[in-house]
Amino acid sequence: METPLSTKIEAILFFRGDTVTVRKLAQYLEVHEEKIIEALKELALILSNRGIVLIQHNEEVMLGTSACLSPVIEKITKEELSRDLGKAGLETLAIILYKEKASKREIDYIRGVNSGFILRNLLIRGLINREEEKGGRGYIYSGTTELLAFMGVTNAEHMPEFESVKAELEQFLLTPKDSETETNAC
Amino acid sequence: METPLSTKIEAILFFRGDTVTVRKLAQYLEVHEEKIIEALKELALILSNRGIVLIQHNEEVMLGTSACLSPVIEKITKEELSRDLGKAGLETLAIILYKEKASKREIDYIRGVNSGFILRNLLIRGLINREEEKGGRGYIYSGTTELLAFMGVTNAEHMPEFESVKAELEQFLLTPKDSETETNAC
Amino acid sequence: MNEGAFTIKTEVFEGPLDLLLSLIEKRKLFISDISLARVADDYISYVKNIGQFPIGMTANFILIASTLLLIKSKSLLPNLSLTEEEQGSIEDLEQRLTIYKRVQDVSKHIAEKFGTEIIFSKIPNKRVTPVFSPDEDMTTLAMLESMKRVMESLPKKEVLSKTVVKKIMSLEEMIDKLTDRVQLSLKMNFSDFAGTHGGTKSSGARHSATREERVLIIVSFLAMLELVKQGIIEVNQNTFSDDIAMETQTLGVPHYQ
């Protein structure tokens, strides 16, 4: 059985987590816009009484959380921002500061674990900035001015033992990644 | 009417986008964990045949797009998907996934080689997690929810031959033997 | 050698168990002491050619090689008595191969599923405006401490564990003893090699071998023992030239040179 259009739309909207135009949806799913509009009506019906709702505005649609749940969501947002950074958060932040600019690949490689979630949290907490890497391969992270000010330094270079730590990090990233040198990592 | 717990959970999971532990959900919603587990069953049922699925793994839950809609989403994602695991990666993941939790010693013993390098690689890719073993002897590894997501499985138990292989692995590792033989210090 | 050795140099193996399994499977055998005895020669000739392996890997190959030698010697000389420990290491190897094969089999399920039908999670919302939310722990000193912790856990050069080093060293002695035992058994039971009667289960393949052929087999087996011994010495030497030398001296184990 062919998957209903409304189901496909639901998946796309969920994945994007942002507004998508009806035109784009029609393009992605290779059907006429009228079909999309029809399916959206269906989807809105399916999603009534659910935690996720369909928000439609002009030609744009997106999924959102039901309004009656905003107190819970607010609580979570607050908690996310005030939570302890924890060991992993501090380590990630330290690498970004001492390296001055670090890509996700470099951070992961130095820490030996994936830093995706932590980087996301540091970003929404305004502790790090990101900019797109040249060639569009990913992002480069650096500490925010607010963060440096909070720690009482005007520049990452004023961090204690800055030169030697930075040099050691660079050295490590330059070392060829053959299996012999890495076996004892875990 | 009071909003059902499953609806609230759905909203929270949608809002967070990534994994949330059962404990956190209980905390956010101020109910017992058992209630959450019950409501999760309900939610999984509600979401069957939808564009969104519920993944449950190791006390963690996450919403994602339905596996059968993978081609639709792949068309619109910009993310580069690395599908290559290699023989060592596959073997290591098989042990970790089917045993649910495995120490480095156990993995090394079964594979007959030091798995440090491949474990580090899988950690960096976010396919496995590690936690310190009790007594500080080393690390215990488990698959991440992302690993299941990448395989399109909503629960590790849905892997083919799961129960029998798990039992065989446990039986094998239970037999007292000098499991230190082939491992290198870690 | 006998039974037509396979060319295996070009293949890459994950380790000794992987190599053994593929040797057994190439001959379409099941995992048993008999099949292990039959692939022992292939295994050792492969190990002989792996000088460029990291030291830890070579050690792993040699540990398994020693168990294969036990199996092989028992199959050649059924009257050779094995200690309980030796018998245990043979059974242990068979069990390990069985479970390793199972792991390789189920890893195919993962290969089939991985990346085929993906469950995608939500893309993080780009519209969220960051709210500067520091944490009390964020001081320059705490950052330095975290940084030092990270640097301490950076991967270092591989070092063999004390257990492996000890095992490898006791192996040299084991091979010496095994050589003596095989030679002794050869003298004592020379009639066994006349080739007029076979009868024992593990000599099936060589049932019709002539006396000359049998002596040849035993002689080449002794050469195999010598090969493995050389491998062990090599591992020991390389090991001693490394950091581990200091560690082992404090263990008070004999220092071969």
The single-letter DSSP state of residue B81 is P
Residue B124 touches partner C, C-beta closer than 8 Å: no
pLDDT at B174: 84
Which residue type, as a one-letter code, is found at position B171?
A: Q
Q: List, in order, residues 6 or more apart from B100 with CB less than 8 Å away.
A: B58, B142, B143, B156, B166
Residue A87 touches partner C, C-beta closer than 8 Å: yes
Terminal Cα distance for chain B, rounded = 56
Whole-number average pLDDT of chain A: 88
Closest by Cβ to B152, choosing from C64, C108, C116: C116
Interface touch C132/A144, C-beta < 8 Å:
yes
Gap between the Cα atoms of B153 and B64, Å rounded: 11
Percent of chain B with pLDDT over 90: 75
**pLDDT, mean of residues B165-179:** 80
CB pairs under 8 A between A and B: 129
pLDDT at B63: 97
Span A67-114, pLDDT tens digits: 888 888 898 888 888 888 889 999 999 999 999 999 999 999 999 999
C129: nearest CA partner in chain A? A124
Mutation target vs C (from A81, A99, A100; most C CBs, 10 A cutoff): A81
pLDDT at B141: 97
pLDDT at B77: 87
Q: Phi then psi for B175, rounded to 5 degrees?
A: -60, 120
C15: nearest CA partner in chain B? B113
Closest by Cβ to A159, choosing from C131, C140, C153: C140
Asked whether the beta carbons of C212 and C99 are under 8 A apart, the reply is: no
pLDDT at C159: 62
Asked whether the beta carbons of B151 and C113 are under 8 A apart, the reply is: yes
pLDDT-wise least confident of A30-34, A113-117, B163-167, C200-204: C200-204
ipTM: 0.91
pLDDT at C192: 53
- In this complex, the chains that touch A, judged by 3 or more CB pairs closer than 8 A, are B, C
Gap between the Cα atoms of B148 and B154, Å rounded: 6
- B184: closest CA among A186, C161, C54, C245? C161
Per DSSP, the residues of C215-250 read: HHHHHHHHHHHHHHHHHHHHHHHHHHTSTHHHHHHH
Secondary structure element (H or E) that encloses residue A7, with its range: helix A5-16
Closest by Cβ to C155, choosing from A98, A158, A185: A185
Span B40-84, pLDDT tens digits: 999 999 998 899 999 999 899 999 999 999 999 999 987 777 888
Q: Which has the higher per-residue pLDDT, A68 or A37?
A: A37
Question: What stretches of C77-210 show up as alpha helix (H) in DSSP?
Answer: 84-113, 140-152, 162-188
Whole-number average pLDDT of chain B: 90
Interface touch C158/A127, C-beta < 8 Å:
no
Q: What is the CA radius of gyration of chain B?
A: 18
CB neighbourhood size of B104 (10 A): 22
Asked whether the beta carbons of C38 and C26 are under 8 A apart, the reply is: no
Tens digits of pLDDT across chain C (257 residues): 334 444 444 467 888 999 999 999 988 888 888 889 889 888 888 877 765 566 667 778 888 888 898 898 888 877 778 888 888 889 999 999 999 999 999 999 999 999 999 999 998 877 778 889 998 888 999 999 999 999 988 877 656 666 667 777 677 777 777 888 777 776 665 555 444 444 444 444 444 556 667 667 777 777 777 777 777 776 666 654 443 332 322 233 333 33
Asked whether the beta carbons of C158 and C201 are under 8 A apart, the reply is: no
Residue B7 tokens, joined: 């609806």
Q: Where are the beta strands (DSSP E) in chain B?
A: 20-21, 52-57, 60-65, 102-103, 128-132, 139-143
Residue C101 tokens, joined: 């094969």
Alpha-carbon dihedral sign for residues B50, B55, B60, B64:
negative
Span B5-25, pLDDT tens digits: 999 999 999 999 989 999 999
- C202: closest CA among C77, C42, C88? C77
Strand A20-21 and strand B139-143: the pairing is unpaired
Residue C23 tokens, joined: 């040797």
Interface touch A68/B3, C-beta < 8 Å:
yes
Burial of C10 (0-12, 13-18, 19+ CB in 10 A): exposed
Q: Please determine, for residue A177, whether its predicted confidence score (pLDDT) is greater than 60.
A: no
- C2: closest CA among C213, C215, C228? C213
Gap between the Cα atoms of A16 and B27, Å rounded: 28
pLDDT at B179: 45
Gap between the Cα atoms of B132 and B103, Å rounded: 9
pLDDT at C41: 85
| pTM higher than 0.80 | yes
